[in-house]
Structure 1
């Protein structure tokens, strides 16, 4: 029952996220004009005036169209950052956790050094050194968030390499890379997917923050943080120029946070169902109440939730 509800919730939220992302990615292809084109005669039109559904900005650009087209930039850059940090986390965390020793110590110290600073402060420092631009912003954000995935992968790998299946694979002559690919990667898929969905919210917020202070894409751009920065001078009498991209940023963060929670609940429900199945099999194999049946059944029984 619980597993079915978790799966249904995951499918619903996943469908919402996919539809939202598809809309943002399709907008630049659907809009028949340049969303950055200026028209001073239509500047600061209120929502509903002059054909502007959610108003225009200080140079006459449609706020709604710019926000939707800018979402494609934010989403694509966010996925690019996630691809980099997940790959780096899997490589460095997996190598450090599996081989241990000096490699593990070095990677652990590097991770600790990066995580000693607040994430946004470190991203600002790196982006300030590298300069303005999309590539430099992606590098700055990736340098901050790869440590979370590396630490997660390392901890899972350390506990996994002592398991029975790894010992059996070694006895059969399997090579380390084959063990990592065939046995470890499936174990990492669930936790990594959950962290990636949750981290997408942080990545999008960090990108907006860097763009807001001028360390993001070069102008003109429709990135949400840059739009909010441009709306500061007219904020008091043209509130929509600030609120619309802020609302889009809020919706994006909420959707990916809900997706991460739904993924976590689905994987937890699956793990609980597997433990219950194992416990039932042990009870059938050891139906008596002797020491063997009691101990094995208790060890495999699922933990009661609060």
Structure 2
């Protein structure tokens, strides 16, 4: 028989792996064996070896060092993006769901406009207008990604605010601010956390996609999508240049997705295995 604490144990494993990724990204400047930006054309396109575990790129830079440093940009930019869209969507959803009225209709119609567009296509258009750079890529994805959080939070608030304990809190003299912070927000926290965790992998891929298209981080900055863009022409002659950052994206997204699935199983009784 499977142990009863299997979901919790699995969550701990994936949480540990995610924290390990964050620590590797945070400590990357102290872990790199070579300067990730130092060019040495004499070492250009060297195959993986003891000195260069993942080989070198066309400028003789250590690919392993650049993948480690690129983790800082890719992972922490993703965390910043998810934090922005989660907080923005949560505020809009709380306000709309709790107060209703014309402002609720305005917010939701505004959200419907953004949800009507293909997300990445709209983000590409916004990033093209704003210009290159990882900051502009974050803004472009934030503009198109917040409505789903607003929709989720609003639907939860509409259910929770009808509960008897909300009426009791209101009759006891609690202000709207106290009711929202102390009673409603904790009730929507679990589905919000699951959605944010699910979005980590998606947002990392979309940020890397914008950088791959030349709309995100720009060379010589070490960022996984930008590195794949720089190495795409060498797939047959020096495949390690593009495969290394691609593998980093794959492993990180897999880790984020496994963590989100475990969180969902732990927090949502409908998905929690018996």
Task: Give the alignment's TM-score, normalised by structure 1.
Answer: 0.85
Q: Per-residue deviation at 1:32?
A: 6.3
Provide the C-alpha distance between the structure 1 equivalents of 2:28 and 2:249, rounded to a whole number of angstroms.
Answer: 16
Q: Do structure 1's residue 126 and structure 2's residue 122 form an aligned pair? A: no
Unmatched runs of 5 consecutive residues or more in structure 1: 274-304
Identify the residue that residue 37 of structure 2 maps to in structure 1. 36
Identify the residue that residue 27 of structure 2 maps to in structure 1. 26
> 1:95–1:74: structure 2 CA closer, same or farther, 3 Å change rule?
same
**Structure 1 stretches (4+) deviating beyond 6 angstroms?**
none
SS at match of 1:104: helix
Unmatched runs of 5 consecutive residues or more in structure 2: none
Bigger Rg, structure 1 or 2: 1
Q: Do structure 1's residue 211 and structure 2's residue 211 form an aligned pair? A: yes
Provide the C-alpha distance between the structure 2 equivalents of 1:37 and 1:105, rounded to a whole number of angstroms.
Answer: 54
1:91-127 CA-to-partner distances (Å, cap 9, x unmatched) read 1010001111111111110111001111110110110
Task: Give the alignment's TM-score, normalised by structure 2.
Answer: 0.95
Q: How many residues align?
A: 273
Provide the C-alpha distance between the structure 1 equivalents of 2:215 and 2:4, rounded to a whole number of angstroms.
Answer: 44
Q: Do structure 1's residue 52 and structure 2's residue 44 form an aligned pair? A: no
Q: Per-residue deviation at 1:47?
A: 1.2
Identify the residue that residue 69 of structure 2 maps to in structure 1. 69
Q: 1:163-182 counterparts in 2 under 5 A?
A: 163-182=163-182
Provide the C-alpha distance between the structure 2 equivalents of 1:206 and 1:272, rounded to a whole number of angstroms.
Answer: 27
Identify the residue that residue 97 of structure 2 maps to in structure 1. 97
Q: Per-residue deviation at 1:33?
A: 4.6
SS at match of 2:268: helix
Identify the residue that residue 285 of structure 1 maps to in structure 2. none
Q: Per-residue deviation at 1:172?
A: 1.0
1:42-92 CA-to-partner distances (Å, cap 9, x unmatched) read 00101116x111111111111111111101111111111111111101110
